[in-house]
């Protein structure tokens, strides 16, 4: 592992309105017609940082100085214990906002690039100023925190109660929904970027790599999903959802999501990254 920050002057000067993540994550809270808000956002951001796969973005215990918008690529957030064990707590995809900690506290986790990644940093103080001066940004940020909290509670429940297949299925399901942008886009044959190794999955689910290998083989043989060459192919949506969230009324959820999709309400959180038909 290595610290690696590379900056491109051309990329560093890219206006926010042309940013690939402008309508995802925290920045979506600044309305396109709010000229003063956009100007403040432009002034607050630091030059883009470019990381290669395996580069460390920050380390557990580092000073809490910046928050980060993930423009492209995948990032893992993990926590190491004193005896050398590691728990991956989040896999971040484009549009993710991360690195926020309570004021005057050190960073509680480490972040590392899984793939090549481009990240937009904002100093913590400037981000707090933006929240105070742009109410829509503050409201959207609170909404993001609420959604992240709900997602983490679901993930923790799956880890605590699920067997190995349910833990892995739940992880793949959540990442696939995020990658596709919305549940309605997940159909048989849908292919979603998934640049995870068996080690990544093991450290996120509390299993061994050998156990992960066995479960992934079972999921493939049972025509549920196939993870190959950094891509996840959804072979059977209903089977995967049943494994990930036992007892959920899939038909009702899918029907509701598809109605929203047809009304043009598809979210921006990574939809373009997935090779999924509407």
pLDDT at 268: 44
Residue 116 falls within a domain, yes or no?
yes
Domain boundary among 99, 119, 148: 148
**6 with 144, same domain?**
yes
Residue 114 C-beta-side C-alpha neighbours within 13 Å: 24
- Residues belonging to the chain: 278
**122 with 171, same domain?**
no
Phi, psi of 220 (to 5 degrees): -70, -45
Work out the average pLDDT over 214-222.
97
pLDDT at 258: 58
**7 with 108, same domain?**
yes
What tens digit of pLDDT does each residue of 152-161 get? 888 888 888 8
Task: Lay out the sheet containing 117-123: strands in order across.
Answer: 49-51, 117-123, 66-72, 97-98
The residue ranges of DSSP E strands in 163-206, in sequence order, are 191-193
Domain boundary among 117, 148, 179: 148
Query: How confident is the prediction for the chain on average, in pLDDT?
Result: 84
Q: How far apart are CA 134 and CA 60, in angstroms?
A: 30
CA of 276: how far to CAs of 20, 188, 211, in Å? 19, 9, 29
Q: How far apart are CA 61 and CA 165, in angstroms?
A: 33
Judge whether residue 274 has pLDDT over 70. no
Q: How many domains is the chain built from?
A: 2
What tens digit of pLDDT does each residue of 244-261 get? 988 766 666 556 555 655
**236 with 128, same domain?**
no
What tens digit of pLDDT does each residue of 96-146 get? 999 988 888 899 999 999 999 999 999 999 999 999 998 888 888 888 888
Domain boundary among 97, 121, 148: 148
CATH number of residue 16's parent domain:
2.60.120.10
CATH number of residue 219's parent domain:
1.10.10.10
Residue 216 falls within a domain, yes or no?
yes
User: Hey, is 210 helix, strand or coil?
Assistant: helix
pLDDT at 266: 45
**52 with 109, same domain?**
yes
Which two three-digit tokens encode residue 202? 């093991």
Phi, psi of 210 (to 5 degrees): -65, -45
Element (H, E) at 211: helix 209-221
Which two three-digit tokens encode residue 86? 């590691």
The four Cα atoms 122, 123, 124, 125 give a dihedral, to 10 degrees, of: -120
Residues contacting residue 172 through CB under 8 Å, at least 6 positions apart: 194, 225, 227, 232, 240, 244
**73 with 187, same domain?**
no
What tens digit of pLDDT does each residue of 203-214 get? 999 999 999 999
Residue 157 falls within a domain, yes or no?
no
Higher confidence at residue 33 or residue 79?
79
Neighbouring CB atoms inside 10 A of 45's CB total 20
Q: Residue 7 is part of which domain span?
A: 2-148
CA of 248: how far to CAs of 74, 127, 245, in Å? 29, 38, 6
Q: Are 257 and 180 in contact (CB under 8 A)?
A: no
**104 with 191, same domain?**
no
Residue 248 falls within a domain, yes or no?
yes
pLDDT at 24: 74
Q: How far apart are CA 97 and CA 121, in angstroms?
A: 10
Task: Lay out the sheet containing 55-58: strands in order across.
Answer: 2-3, 55-58, 110-113, 75-80, 86-92
Q: How far apart are CA 171 and CA 192, in angstroms?
A: 13
State the burial class of residue 18 (Cβ atoms within 10 Å of its Cβ: 0-12, 13-18, 19+).
Answer: exposed
């Amino acid at each position: 592992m290595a610290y690696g920050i590379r900056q491109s002057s051309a990329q560093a000067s890219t206006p926010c309105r042309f940013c690939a993540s402008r309508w995802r994550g925290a920045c979506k809270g600044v309305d396109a017609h709010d000229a003063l808000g956009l100007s403040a956002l432009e002034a607050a951001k630091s030059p883009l940082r470019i990381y290669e796969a395996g580069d460390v973005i920050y380390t557990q215990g580092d000073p809490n100085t910046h928050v980060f918008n993930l423009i492209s690529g995948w990032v893992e957030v993990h926590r190491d214990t004193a005896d050398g064990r590691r728990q991956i707590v989040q896999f971040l995809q484009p549009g993710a906002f991360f690195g926020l900690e309570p004021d005057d506290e050190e960073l509680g986790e480490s972040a590392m690039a899984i793939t090549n990644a481009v990240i937009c940093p904002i100093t913590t103080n400037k981000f707090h100023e933006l929240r105070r001066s742009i109410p829509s940004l503050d409201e959207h940020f609170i909404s993001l925190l609420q959604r992240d909290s709900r997602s983490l509670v679901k993930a923790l429940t799956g880890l605590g109660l699920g067997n190995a297949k349910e833990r892995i299925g739940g992880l793949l399901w959540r990442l696939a929904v995020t990658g596709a942008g919305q549940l309605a886009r997940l159909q048989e044959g849908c292919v979603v970027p998934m640049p995870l190794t068996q080690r990544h999955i093991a450290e996120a689910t509390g299993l061994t790599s050998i156990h992960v290998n066995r479960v992934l083989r079972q999921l493939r043989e049972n025509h549920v999903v196939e993870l190959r060459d950094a891509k996840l192919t959804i072979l059977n949506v209903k089977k995967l959802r049943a494994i990930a969230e036992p007892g959920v009324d899939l038909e009702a959820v899918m029907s509701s999501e598809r109605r929203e999709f047809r009304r043009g309400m598809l979210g921006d959180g990574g939809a373009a990254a997935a090779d999924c038909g509407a």
